[in-house]
Amino acid sequence: MAQTTEIWDSDAYARFKDRLLQSAEDAYRRFNEKIIPDYSPILGVRMPVLRKLAKEIAKGNWRSYLKAARDDSHEEIMLQGMVIAAVSPKLEFSETLRYLTYYVPKLNNWSLVDAFCGDMKIIARHQQETYAFLTRYLKSAEEYAVRFAIVMLLHYYLDAQYLPEVFALFNSVRHTGYYVQMALAWAVSIAFVKMPEETWAYLRQNRLLPWTQQKALQKILESNRVTQETKAQIRRLKEQK
């Protein structure tokens, strides 16, 4: 692994790639290939190993790393997101947004999207600055760019201040890709757990695709944070749709 002050030239990156390959597990690679479609080549490196690497990079010459970083594998793309998330609390937020703009086009599967969004906890402290930035991705033709926006909204905007606007945004999504629609269903189910009364009203009046609404209702039924009485009401709504 490169020393903290070392520039990430081709030799440094080769050493880094060797470390990744040495950490790869064939069985784990095969498992991931079954559940992650549209993937870059998967090496089979487990998340704890990637997180350890990301922390090391974030403590060193991480800007040089991001300039040198390649998109040759799922893990290499994942690591870039982990590093951006790790260093973001130290940056001016405008720089964080620049790195988001750089990174979002690299997202090519649901796993990359969901891991990155979950790691970007800094967004919770910058809701207002990030809101317009995120919503533009909802109009993208790229499935995972749209999913990125939805999952960010799911993590950081399902609150009393933003929920009405977020529901309106969900209604505006036109991309019919599977991973977009599944993200919408997931988001609505989380909203129901957090703010059930407001989400009840939305479920009765939304403009989601029927398939997506059914998935949202099913996810609510699967939640262990919803009472049996409420689940009975959800089942009745599910049968009506």
For tokens 């995120």, name the residue: 134
Task: Report yes or no on 38 lying in a domain.
Answer: yes
Type of residue numbered 44: G
113 located within any domain:
no
Provide the residue range defining the domain that includes 30: 1-91
Q: Using CA atoms, how far apart are residues 140 and 135, in angstroms rounded to an integer?
A: 10
32: in domain? yes
Q: Is residue 84 part of a domain?
A: yes
3 state DSSP class of 209:
coil
Band of pLDDT at residue 3, cut at 50, 70 and 90:
very low
Residue 85 sits in the same domain as residue 133: no
In this structure, the answer to whether residues 137 and 82 fall within a common structural domain is no
Q: Are 237 and 187 in a shared domain?
A: yes
Q: Are residues 130 and 236 located together in one domain of the fold?
A: yes
130 and 241 in a single domain? The answer is yes
Distance from CA of residue 108 to its chain's centroid?
11
Same-domain status, 130 and 240 = yes
Cα separation of the two ends of the chain: 56
- What's the predicted TM-score (pTM) here? 0.94
Q: Could you say which of 43, 70, 91 is where a domain stops? A: 91
How many Cα atoms sit within 13 Å of 117 on the Cβ side? Answer: 26
**224 inside domain:** yes
130 and 225 share a domain?
A: yes
Whether residue 114 lies inside any domain: the answer is no
- List the single range of 32-46, 68-82, 103-117 with lowest mean pLDDT: 32-46
Q: Is residue 53 part of a domain?
A: yes
Q: Are residues 78 and 183 in the same domain?
A: no
Residue 162 belongs to a domain with what CATH number? 1.25.10.90
Contacts of residue 136, defined as CB under 8 A and 6 or more positions apart, other chains included, come to 149
**Tens digit of each residue's pLDDT (9 = 90 or more) over 5-21:** 568 999 999 999 999 99
| pLDDT confidence band for 239 (50 / 70 / 90) | confident
C-alpha to C-alpha distance for 216 and 92, rounded to whole angstroms = 37
User: Same structural domain for residues 141 and 36?
Assistant: no
139 within some domain:
yes
Number of domains composing the chain: 2
